[in-house]
Chains A and B, each alone.
Chain A
Amino acid sequence: MFEKSVAELGRALIAGEVSAVELARLFLERIDTHRNLNAFLDVRPEVTLAQARAADARITKGDATPLTGVPIAHKDIFVTRDFHSTASSRILKGYMSPFDATIVERLGDAGMVVLGKLNCDEFAMGSSNENSHYGNVLNPWDRSAVPGGSSGGSAAAVAARIAPAATATDTGGSIREPAAFSGITGIKPTYGRASRWGMIAFASSLDQAGIMTRSAEDAALIFNAMLGFDPKDSTSVERATEDYTRSLDLDLKGLRIGVPQEFFGEGLQADVEKAVREALAEYVKLGARLIDISLPNAALGIPVYYVIAPAECSSNLSRFDGVRYGHRAAHYTDLIDMMKKSRSEGFGPEPKRRILIGTYVLSHGYYDAYYIQAQKVRRIIADEFQRAFRECDLIAGPVTTSVAFGFGEKAADPVAMYLSDLYTVPGSLAGIPAMSIPCGFGAKNRPVGLQLMANYFDEARLLGAAHRYQQATDWHKRLPPLVQSDR
């Protein structure tokens, strides 16, 4: 049962083949069995089982949605009333939110049952999940490898089948990179589609919630309940709701897939390139056409990102002052000293680094040279995507330059870590929908992801193209060794 997809679980629940309480117990047990992965930060069986009982009552009444009773876990960036919300930071240790994030509320309204909160990089800053105050998450495929970040707990939970689905967030690649490293499906929608209300802010002009699942079909089902206009989020887009499953039977014949040459340059490891090229060949077999495109300034995405994201982070994280909530230092001399000590003790090294960069680039005399210049180059990159989409329907390429790296390999060198987002940052800067789907294995039998990107609001076609690939291949059905031995 734990290997079933969200779609299958929803059908089994409605058919009465399994109850929501049985499913909740099964996955809670799996969380416990695989607690050494360190994917979960807060689990409260009494909360989960109460939600499951309510879901069962709803199913009995005939009032179920396709998601009612299906378990899900939330990245610990979304605030929740019933579980701690920490952003994996010491500064929010034990924090209990007075409200649920809109995404949490909507999925709850659909009847999904919350298994708990998932580990991630502190304030979603990182590419390996090594920046959590609560310890590393291990990659279920190979425990000596990172699961990717920042949504590392979400990726590991779905990969290890200890949650059928998990929410995640993407600022510069925090959904796609861990999805690729952990061999699962991960998608971020167009910026503005997913409500940011109750999503602990990192870089507001980039932050976007998405979902991690086993398949594109499951992601489409969950998007139906999760996305849509939210008046509480000032950057939420006002558009009619839509059915994200409507193009799952997309005809790939004649679909134009743009392949950016810049994504296959120096730095791309041969094993990743091979798996990605084979995936592209599979698309050709399915009827798609490959078109060479160019995104000449994509590589500038990293420097742009490391101005804009730290700038916005330094502003957003100024709210943590030890006054209203969060950690307060035990000893201090006056108000300023209290704030300085509280923040210094509460934030880990990566948020501190980014706050310092951000404070500097926003400071008097440097604002135009750094922040405004970065925003201008951001537009150059976004415009290049628009030019590319005149020639193609989707863009495809690698998600990462390599398969998952080992713990400690990049942790001491921030710049090396930042460069692991080379292929994911451009799509985040443009604000377009983008996803990663499993497309094979590379060195040390670690998973490889194929990146697919679409133009604004074209999620349904993006999911359709991914679904068709997943119907023709079985990479997304492969199980990590530790899950195989659970059977």
Chain B
Amino acid sequence: MTPAADTGATTPGAATPDKAPGAATAATPDKAREVLRVDGVSVSLSGRQILDGVTFAVGAGEFTGLIGPNGAGKTTLLRVILGLQRASAGHVLLNGHPRTRHNHSIGYVPQKVLLDPDMPLRARDLVALGLDGHRFGIGLPSRQRNEKVDEMLHAVDAESFADARVGNLSGGEQQRVLIAHALIARPQLLLLDEPLANLDLRSSEEIITLLDRISNGADIAVLLSAHEMNPLLPVMDHVVYVAEGRAASGTTNEVIQADVLSALYGHHVDVIRVHGRVLVVAAPGSADHAPLTVEPAVETA
């Protein structure tokens, strides 16, 4: 989150960070076919309130950024959606129905996947596991299976390293393979937990472009968590901003406002739009409220 790391993603003075306002409002969650609805979800872990009444919806083919500082509860929220974490209140609807245990309509790329260089697994093997890795038995090779894998490797531009060990790939290459792994079962919703963390700027941009292509072209809803929103501004249809366990959702212009974010943080923050970038900055007078967060008082979101 160093200021130096997030410069240059957008040309200074370029067009508004949001997509064209008309396009953004036309695709509100209510109008697009609703893939995911998170309704009043609260989570308490060992007496600590992690999430407090989080509500938002994601429509088919939409690109939604789940933005907030580290420790805001983004990962917990994704785990609730996946059914890996029980909500103490509220519920999650997938395509209008309560989620079932074995739900294959969600593809998932977790935050930290440590792929050991010694693991005898080629990129294409990992992608194939996305098809049938949850099934018992050895599984027999089939031409149809191989074709699907090749198709998916092509879709994420991973053909050139398809036969390399995944552990030997760069961070950006591994993300591509993990995305292909998550997509090959044809989910309607793709969840990614901090996929841009630890990526260099160029890899980060390539992953964003790829995800944008997926959400638009394949009509798959993308919900991506990040602590840094600027690289995502050109592609996000909606933003869900999480802070202090609370969330606000809408278009970037609706949510990234001083009054909305101040209400979330519980103290005053300023939103500065400069050179096509958005900065969320704690106001000087708010220092006495700041201890609410473990984050530094100055937040470059």
State yes or no: do A and B come from one complex: no
Residues of B within 8 A of A (CB): none
Residues of A within 8 A of B (CB): none
